[in-house]
Structure formats: structure tokens, C-alpha cells
Amino acid sequence: MHPILARNNVNVTGSGSQVIVFAHGFGCAQNSWKFITDAFLKDYRVVLFDYVGSGNSDISQYDYHKYATLEGYACDVVDIIEALNLRDIIFVGHSVSSMIGMIAALQKPEIFKKLVFIGPSPRYLNDQEYIGGFEIKDIEGIFMQIAEDYVGWTKVISPAVMQNMHRPELSEFLQECFEATDPSIALAFAMATFKSDNRENLKKLKVPSLTLQGVDDIMVPLSAGDYIQQHTPSNFLKVMQATGHFPHISHPEETIREIKNFIEEK
């Protein structure tokens, strides 16, 4: 196996010619896509992977300096695509992976056909007129909670971000995903995520993109999706009926439908 494919625990399934790469968000791994990937296997070639430090990736390859910014993760996305010798891919990124995918598409636009952002945010911190949803003290509080009691934090945050209180099994699944991540790596990933600001990059993006946004998402206000749509060429915004930050887990049918509607347009 190619060392990059081993490093990122890359798995390729499906039987179509069009390739879709699914990229998980903070604290998760490729198994977070399990509720929707079956719907794509018949018509698409599906690529799943774990970021270094997540899931079954090679944790010995984790570099705190490289992964201090989202650019480090974007380099790995490009590495994976090039190791598989892929072109014209559809990239589906959840949460922070939306911006990681955008950065990768700025690095190598020729290998991307379309981008799907699920719950994206170009900047989590509020900034004058821009509403990202968080103040500095909020972010610092999150960092402190992760550093002092990561497991305790996951128990609180999982139901809050899932926003499906009548289905506790979903929050439990998410909590298990979070707890599988090393706390020090989770903290580093959180810092890279919450300190990022990709607003200026949006206008440079040439690849068509779709923003899928759930309602009652405590991580990303609707204003963030509006901002992306207004400042990104060829971006389409769809506010879903799904609630929370993980519609691919809580509302898989709607998520599948919206992704297919976008990627199957000519």
C-alpha cells in the first residue's frame, strides 16, 4: 500500500467512475459517514479517510507543527488524491473539513470538480459586523475544558451539537467518536479550527460549491452560510430542515438528497 494511503487509513469502495471524497470533521473519523455512504456506492467511487490523529490513521505521523493550521490538513487531502491519481473529484467536507477542502481546491483547483460544505464556517469568531457565533472568551473556555476534562466536555457537547434530544443514540454515537481521539490532538485540532479565518480565501475559489446548513446549529449560525454564499463565486446555499451540526448523521436521507441534487446537475 502507498504510504500516504496507509497514513490516512484510506478506503476506496463503490463502482462508479465519478469519485466522491468524504472528509470528516473535528473529533470524528470516516465512520461518521456510515449513515449516507451506501447511497452512493452503486453510482460513485467513494473515498474515505481519517485525518492523521483521527480514527485508524497512523498516529506516529502526527506533527503538532504541521497540523497547527488547516493548511497542513489540506496538504494531506491533496496527497491522498494524488496518491490515488484522481481527477475531477467531488469533495464533501463536514464542518472544518469544508474549509480544508476549499484550501485544497485553491492549492490544486484542477483536481476538483465540485465541493460540498456541510455546516461550514469561514471564521468562528465574531469580528465587527461579521457574526461567526463565538467571542474570544467562548473559544478560550472550550480550549480549557478540552485540556482539563476532555471526556467530560464530550458528554456535554455531543447532545448540544447533535440537537436531536429525542434520539439520544445519535449523541452517544458522536460521543464515542470524540472519545476515540487523543485529548491532546483534539485540543490541537480545536485550536487550528477555531483560530482559522478563511474569509479572504472564499473569493478566490473557482470550483462550484454547495453549502448545506442545518437549523439550530450552535456551532455555526445561519449568518456564516449567508456570508459564504455572498462572498464565494458559484456557491449555492441550502438551509436544510435538519437540525444541529451533524445532518449526515441525524438526517441522512435529506443530506443524501441535497448532495445528489447538486452533484448530478450538469
DSSP helix, strand, coil percent of the chain (3-state; round to 5): 50, 20, 35
**What is the 8-class DSSP label of residue 26?**
T
Buried b (16+ CB within 10 A) or exposed e, 11-33: eeebeeebbbbbbbbbbbbbbbb
Q: What distance in Å separates the CA atoms of residue 223 and residue 129, rounded to the nearest whole number? A: 11
- Contact at 8 Å (CB) between 92 and 104? no
Catalytic, out of 95, 158, 171, 250: 95
Q: Is 184 a catalytic residue?
A: no
Write out the three cell numbers for 9: 487509513
Which of 40, 36, 46, 37 minimizes the C-alpha distance to 10?
46
Catalytic, out of 32, 97, 196, 245: 245
Catalytic, out of 24, 171, 217, 250: 217
- Contact at 8 Å (CB) between 114 and 265? no
Q: Is 217 a catalytic residue?
A: yes
- Contact at 8 Å (CB) between 99 and 106? no
Which of 43, 63, 21 minimizes the C-alpha distance to 188?
63
Bridge partners for 91 per DSSP: 21, 115
**C-alpha R_g of the chain:** 17
Question: How far is CA 80 from its chain centroid?
Answer: 16
Could you please report the per-residue DSSP string of 175-222?
HHHHHTS-HHHHHHHHHHHHT-B-HHHHTT--S-EEEEEEES-SSS-H
Q: Is 209 a catalytic residue?
A: no
Catalytically active residues, by annotation: 95, 217, 245
